[in-house]
Amino acid sequence: MANDASTVFDVVILGGGSGGYAAALRAAQLGLQVALIEKGELGGTCLHRGCIPTKALLHAAEVADETREAAQFGVRATFEGIDLPGVHKYKDDVIAGLYKGLQGLVASRKITYVTGEGRLSSPTSVDVAGQRYEGRHIVLATGSVPKSLPGLTIDGNRVISSDHALKLDYLPKSAVILGGGVIGVEFASVWKSFGVDVTIVEALPHLVPLEDEGSSKLLERAFRKRGIKFELKSRFSGVEYTESGVRVSTENGKQIDADVLLVAIGRGPVSQGLGYEEAGVAMDRGYVLVDEYLRTNVETISAVGDLVPTLQLAHVGFAEGILVAERLAGQRVVPIDYDGVPRVTYCNPEVASVGITEAKAKEIYGAEKIKVAKFNLAGNGKSKILKTAGEIKLVQVEDGAVVGIHMVGARMGEQVGEAQLIYNWEALPAEVAQLIHAHPTQSEALGEAHLALAGKPLHNHD
């Protein structure tokens, strides 16, 4: 195995997605010699097959809906249909611009970028195509891929994953989406706006089941209004090919015919056959186990991103990568409060949250100590202008801080920045109530909810 002085680094990072490249950029910024190894494209899932392309599709879907509904705003417009090649060009141009910028950024930090499939060969080395890269420390950041169920084969034709859905060269007339989590409801939202007849099949009692139940119910109401169908408490039992598509069966006896089945039940870690277990790294169901500082049980190895059992969000990967880089550079670091991470589902309407749910708060603190305030967006001028419905819900520990903020409505993802400051700085409702929000904005709704919780509601009923 080839090895020389040019392949010995302070940090060798295996995986160039959100967690890996964030670790590389910050480590290099702090003066460490860094090698970043990626078998595919720099930027990983988020840039090429996740966050960025899906949000581009969602924006195209929003434009389609606004064009159809232009008359209600006094604008004459004609909706002639979806130019799918044009949509893909728009999406791909966004990705290409960000990809070029990221490549330039990595090069500017003097990071040694290695293209190829890496394998952990020891607690201090990674092998790539016959070349060994030695590191004082190794960071594992090999990410995740779409999951399936036992016996359910994703063929890329009629049974597809989110990766395939992003590149479909046609619009199906109908689709079944298996899974009502973030990925499932976002694709349901896009496809409905593009004119596809959509049915979601979800085994749990609600859509976006990790969110507060109130948010789930508001989303379900909005989806019904949009004509998006869903079957809740329906466990998948099988799929068969029909003459023109698929027939999906559930354990409660229902059968749904459609052109395609999108399997959107989550993502699993990429770790098999990469030498992790041979190097002594502790694992569970394919995930690499880490402590609050992202350290594995092997002293010289850390792990970040979707590879570890934390929230599978790009911004979590960024934060984990930065934490590891700063720790390796000798800086004092603080463990991530994962409850304090903002979460956004970018369907129409958007679902955004930070902190814990009402149910979790009652479980932790006791039901008698929990106060809840809600502000309906019908009382917010900018939301009225946008013709969006929804709600902001606050969960507070009595005489204490706000521990949960849950929002449903158009553009709520843009409000979650202030919401995360409120949660992470342990703000009291009376303190937030003193802040003056610009009028008319949707951010006022967050202020109004805190006014209500502080006992002095303005534009809502007592």
Q: Which residues are catalytically annotated?
A: 439
Which residues, 6+ apart, have CB-to-CB distance to 406 below 8 Å? Answer: 211, 212, 214, 215, 352, 353, 357, 392, 393, 394, 395
Query: Is 131 within 8 Å of 7 (Cβ atoms)?
Result: yes
Query: Is 162 within 8 Å of 265 (Cβ atoms)?
Result: no
Query: Is 440 within 8 Å of 384 (Cβ atoms)?
Result: no
The DSSP symbol for 209 reads T
Query: Is 114 within 8 Å of 126 (Cβ atoms)?
Result: no
Q: Is the dihedral of CA 172, 175, 178, 182 positive or negative?
A: positive
DSSP string for residues in 3-72 = --GGGEEEEEEE--SHHHHHHHHHHHHTT--EEEEESS-TTHHHHHHSHHHHHHHHHHHHHHHHHHTGGG
Q: Is 301 helix (H, G, I), strand (E, B) or coil?
A: strand
> What does residue 120 show for φ and ψ, rounded to 5 degrees?
-65, 120
Match 């708060």 to its residue by tokens: 361
Measured between alpha carbons, how far is 364 from 370 in angstroms, rounded to an integer?
Answer: 10
